[in-house]
A and B are shown apart, each in its own frame.
Chain A
């Protein structure tokens, strides 16, 4: 069980990552701008899932159910791109 202190720390980390992703948008990195944005968003999502949504200490069944949704999206986007980008 996590205390309120942990939630405040997670909130500060999320705000810091928000500033990082916003700031990085104004640095010309070519295609790596998008890579960085997605990596930061994934990190933020992981923080929310693990701490705010308690998956870190949750029953494995809950973690599996949570993973199913994201796994589904990954397959959907990867296979759609495999079609579109090889035409």
Chain B
């Protein structure tokens, strides 16, 4: 019991109340994140409504194979994070560290694939303001699509990077026996953040890569 008592901060009655407070705090933060990405989706929507042809043309230039693969990678990383939660709940320390490590690897894999994609975008002269060149009609508006593309995917990739760093820190804590079946809130709230980053991508993927493929 000593280890349980030592993990409850003085302002809480018990571990359960502390856990509920932490989860509520995380959800409030996630609601602000949803609004933050919401502004980007609103900007996307208004720009696409004004320039539908340019968004269709721009979307056809994105790398749909890499993006689809990346969606699979991110969905799988959400599964390994959920399995880490089960391992934490049952006190399986080695499994917890392994699942967290796998999640970090998959998150890093997502960023690596995204990097390959950005490199291709650069060599194909699709980076606005830097080297953008487009021979077809409505070049300015296609450039606008790629501005939105880099803004949205860039901000999302930053969130993935932060998530990878956070999960790596949790993995180190787990390997140092920081968590017990009675106290694993950091694993749980980090998982919530990771799943939300996953949800954002589930909308980014069709809206940027699949606009006009038929």
Residues of A within 8 A of B33 (CB): 69
CB distance from A67 to the nearest CB of B (A): 9
Beta-carbon contacts under 8 Å, B17-38 to A:
20, 23-24, 27-28, 30-35, 38
Knowing A15-B72, A22-B68 touch, does A3 contact B86 (C-beta < 8 A)?
A: yes
Known: A45-B199, A62-B27. A77 touches B82 (CB 8 A): no
> Are A66 and B27 in contact (CB-based, < 8 A)?
yes
- Which residues on the B side are within 8 Å of A62 (C-beta)? 23-24, 27
Which of B191, B199, B210 is A25 in contact with, Cβ under 8 Å? B210
Q: Name B45's contact: one of A14, A72, A80 (CB within 8 Å).
A: A80
- Asked if B202 and A41 sit within 8 Å, CB to CB, the answer is yes
- Chain B interface residue count, CB cutoff 8 Å, equals 48
Chain B interface secondary structure, helix, strand, loop or mixed? helix
Give chain B interface residues in 42-71, CB to chain A under 8 Å: 42, 45-46, 49-50, 64, 68, 71
Q: Cβ of B178: which chain A residues have Cβ within 8 Å of it?
A: none
> What is the total of A-B residue contacts with beta carbons within 8 Å?
125
- Asked if residues B42 and A80 are in contact (CB atoms below 8 Å), the reply is yes
Q: Which of B116-146 contact A (CB under 8 A)?
A: none
Say yes or no: is B105 at the interface (Cβ < 8 Å to chain A): no
How far, in whole Å, are A69 and B200 apart by their CA atoms in the complex?
12
| Complex A-B, nearest 6 residue pairs according to Cβ-Cβ distance, in ascending order | A69-B34, A73-B38, A37-B206, A69-B31, A28-B214, A25-B210
Q: Using a CB–CB distance below 8 Å, which chain A residues touch chain B?
A: 1, 3-4, 7-8, 10-11, 14-15, 18, 21-22, 25-29, 33-34, 37-38, 40-41, 44-45, 48-49, 52-53, 59, 61-62, 65-66, 68-70, 72-73, 76-77, 80-81, 84-85
